[in-house]
Structures are given as structure tokens and as C-alpha cells.
Structure 1
Amino acid sequence: MIFDTLWIDISVIASIIAICILAYKAKALTLLGALFAFFLTVGIYISGGIPFLAALLGFFISSSFFTKLRANEKEELEKALYDKGGNRDQVQVLANGGAAFIIAAAHFLMPDKQLFVAYFVAIAACNADSWASEIGIMSKATPFSIINLKPVQRGMSGGVTFLGLFASACGALFIAGIYTIFMFVRFPFLELIRDCTIITIFGFAGAAIDSALGVFFQPAYVDSRGRLTEKRAEGRVQNNKVKGFEFFGNDMVNFVSSLVAACLAYYAITFL
């Protein structure tokens, strides 16, 4: 029995190594991003087993797919607006997986059903935000502010489209679907429906929180040509900051929004 468990663990870790190498070669991750992703993924697997690992891989693989989808059309806009491209570095890996890792570690130390569901919510929030960003940016409709509903520049944080909102809901539902696959025989039907509803709703809410934080706290700049951007500088020329806080960039927004969504879901389960 011990040998069988050890063989499974070795096989899983070998698979994680292979996925990280493939992600690096496919330019979905930088070299350091792949290294950090390996250790974070192994830690999550140790903390929660195959279900936790499946949710994380579901997020990474699906998000990477949508990042590469029609990448040439997105490239020009991304270069004008963002400091980072589609290949995620170590900071982005920690930003998207950090909250989930914290919750997984807490569940490992103090096994708890609420923490179990909260982990899936953290992943669902990241997945919902990623699908919204990668699919929503392809919408032909003018984005509008999630706060005051006024039109905003395409690609800027806080702007949403109906396509992006739909994609966000689908992204959260996708992670709830992974939860269903693994928990279908473990929990009563009504409890399973409740958990999946919580994962979907609070995952979607996490993406909405991400957009709201982007409006209020994420920095925005005006470049030398008077265009709004999220890039601090163009070459050696510093752009003029017009709002937000330097330390509260997109990576910090991703981390905080997923953690807040998971915490809200944790307490919501208590009353349901």
C-alpha cells in the first residue's frame, strides 16, 4: 500500500515536471515562472491531493489556451498597455496561485470542509478573471467601467464587456465542474449543488473584485503621446501616473481578489 502511494506521488511529480517544461517551451511560462510553478504545484498537491491539483491544472491549461487564442490580434494592444506579455513570470505565478497555496496549506494543517471549498473558490476567481481578460478583450463592443458603467479604453483595468462577463462566469463554472467530478460520490447531491453554486458565484465575484480593485487602486499612466496605459515607462522615458498606487499593480490585484473571494466564501458556507 505504501509502495503504491509512493509510486502515485512519483508519477504525479514527474507529470508536473513535464507540464512545467512544456509550458516553458511553449512560452506560457518564463524559466523562473516554470520553477516557481513546479514548487507551488507540488506544495498544493501535497496539501490537497489530486482534486486540488486538478483544479490548479485546469486553471493553468485553460487560461494558457485562451492566452494563445488569437494571440497575434492581442499582441499589439498588450505591448501598448502592459509591462508583461502572455508568458507568465514567477511573480505572476505567485499572484495567481499564492492565495490558493495559502488556503491549501491551511487545509493541510487543519483539514476543514470550508477550507476545501475555499481553495476551489480561489482557483475559480483566478480562472474567471483570466477567461474574462483573454476572451473579453476580443469583444468588438466598447468596454464599460464596472463601477460607474461609463465607457473606458479597451484593455484598461476595471473595464468589462458582456462577452467578458459571460466568459468570467464560465471560467468560474469550469472550476466548479472539476469540483463536481471529484466530489460527486463523496457528498450528498444537495450539498454538492450548494458547494458548486458557492464556487461559481464567489469565483465570479472574485473577478468582479479584481476589476473594482483595478479601478480604485491599480496604477494607470499617460504616455508621451497622451495615451492611457498601465506601463510605467516606455524605454527610459517614465510615463506620468494619473491614478492608483505603484505597489498595487495587476499581480497584487490578482492575489488580493482571489484571497478575498475565498475568505468570503469560507464564511458564507457557515450560513448556508
Structure 2
Amino acid sequence: MEKTMIQPLIAMFLSSMIAFRAYRKKSLNISGAFCGFFVMSIHLAVNYRFGAMLLVFFFTSSKFTKHGEERKRKIDPDFKEGGQRNWIQVLFNSGVATLLVLVTFKTSGLQDQCLDSKESKLMTLLIGGVIGHYCCCNGDTWSSELGVLSDEQPRLITTFKPVRRGTNGGVTRAGLLAAAAAGVVIGLTFVLLGFFTTKCTTSNMAIKQLIVIPLSAVAGVVGSLIDSLLGATLQFSGFCSVRNKVVGKPGPTVKKISGLSILDNNAVNLVSVFLAAVLTSMACLYIF
């Protein structure tokens, strides 16, 4: 059976198993599981490295989301056991990358390629965009889920003043380190699988692919900072005296902390990943 048939079949089988498991583990609700199935199928069917980056983001983020649930329950007003992401959250965290993956398929089919602008500037931009996308997603999630558990006092990124845990735009050193580590994991996944799935035109270019790892660390941090900056300025944060929690909507019992009610959390994620994808793709075009 041809590769064009085998790879999509494998992709659909793996995606169905993972989506079902995620639903059982309450990482995704029913709509999130269906959306996740289609997104994972597309990634894995086009390129195993794309699929691997998506799965690393999904599994590690789900793990850290569940870490320290009791403490997060007291902080997060919209806390859901296990995370239980719905289709909107899945789409906003993977939609940009999915479009890039589809354009990659239209451009080169199922053929995996190295980052090499001399070989193809378009493919370098597209692959760099997917890397940047998942570095941002992973970096933002790791920094949020682990940073909120830190004993360090968060500081608002725009003023550096101390704020309550759970405030949009609040950053900690632990959170930034987590974002860098999250980016490194994505970069390592891309590079290590590349040894088995692709062959660069020269040995020098093959070695140069290792630059993706530190670049991914930077992309993870930059993506997290962009998310924090948008959260501090265009996303409302206030303290509710009744619920005794930081909330994301104004109200009669809510005292404003920061931000405007322009973007919600999903919109902030979408804008962040888009900007991170653009910046990383341009960096890849310049470096490679």
C-alpha cells in the first residue's frame, strides 16, 4: 500500500485512540475530543514531526494542568477538573498550525524537509511557523500552570507591580524558566525525529538543525511574554470580593486590577500563537 494511504490511516487510528483517552481522562470534553481528532489526524497524516510536536504539547500541558489541582481550584474561578478543554480551546490553540500544515501538504505533499532557505524559502517559513506556534502554546501553558504554583509573587508585566496569583499578565521567574523549558522540549522533538524522517542536502545543514533547540527556547519565552502583555492590556482582570478570587469579567463586586475587556483568554491565545509563528518563521528564514 502506498505511503499516501498508509500514513493517513495510521494518523486516524492514533488520533482516535488519543482523543478517546483524553476524553476518558477529562483532558478534553466531547467537543474537544472530536475537534482534537481532526486536528491530530491532519498533523500526523501530513508529517510525523508536526504530529509529534502537537502531541508533546498536548500530553505535557495536560499533565501540568492536572498538577496541583487543589491549589488551582482555589485560584481559578473557571477551574475544571483535568482541564476539560472544549473545541474552541482546541481550535484556538492549534488552528494556525493546522492551516500551516495544510499549506505544507499542498506545497510538498508528504515529503518531510529540513529547514533550508536555499532549498525552499516557503517551506522554511511554514515549518518555522509550526515550530513557533507550538513553542508558544507549550511555553504559555507551562508558565501558567507551573508559575501559578510558585511561591514567588507575580508581577504585572506592564508595571512590574506585585499582583494576585491568577492575574492576566502576571509573570514570575519560575514561569519564564518553565516557558523556556517548554520551548526546548518542542525543539528537541523536531530535531530528534528529523534524524529518522528527513535528510538534509549537506552535512553542515544537518548539524545546523540543532540551532532549532535554543531558538525554540527563545520562542517559548517570547510567546509567553506576548501572551502576558496582551493579557495585561487587552484582557480584564479584577478581584471579586464575594468569590475571593481573581476573575476575568467586570461586576458590581469586582475591583479592577488591570486590562480592558477587549479579548478573552481564547482570543489572547490565538493572537499570541499567530505572532509567535510569524516571528519564529522569520527567524528560521534568516538563520537557515
Amino acid at match of 2:272: S
* TM-score, normalised via structure 2 length: 0.83
Return the match for 1:221 from 238, 255, 258. 238
Match of 2:120 in 1: none
Q: Is the 8 A contact 1:24 1:30 kept in 2?
A: yes
Match of 1:139 in 2: 150
Match of 2:161 in 1: 150
In structure 2, the CA distance between the partners of 1:151 and 1:221, relative to structure 1 (3 Å rule), is closer
Match of 2:84 in 1: 87
Q: Is the 8 A contact 1:117 1:199 kept in 2?
A: no
CA–CA separation in structure 2 for the residues paired with 1:190 and 1:182: 14
1:113-133 Cα distance to aligned partner (Å, 9 max, x none): 221122011011100111111
Aligned ranges for residues 191-230 of structure 1 at < 5 Å?
Answer: 191-225=208-242, 229-230=246-247
User: What value does the CA root-mean-square deviation take over the aligned residues?
Assistant: 2.4
Match of 1:258 in 2: 273
Alignment partner of 1:56 is 2:54: yes
CA–CA separation in structure 1 for the residues paired with 2:173 and 2:259: 25
Residue range with higher mean Cα deviation, 17-26 or 221-230: 221-230
In structure 2, the CA distance between the partners of 1:210 and 1:20, relative to structure 1 (3 Å rule), is same
How far apart are residue 109 of structure 1 and its match?
2.5
Identity %: 30
CA–CA separation in structure 1 for the residues paired with 2:221 and 2:243: 34
Residue range with higher mean Cα deviation, 22-31 or 111-120: 111-120
Match of 2:13 in 1: 14
* TM-score, normalised via structure 1 length: 0.88
How far apart are residue 245 of structure 1 and its match?
4.4
Q: Structure 1: where are the runs of 5+ without partners? A: none
How many residue pairs get aligned? The number is 266
Q: Is the 8 A contact 2:93 2:270 kept in 1?
A: yes
1:163-204 Cα distance to aligned partner (Å, 9 max, x none): 111111100100001011122363434421233333221232
Match of 2:97 in 1: 100
Q: Structure 2: where are the runs of 5+ without partners? A: 109-122
Amino acid at match of 2:28: L
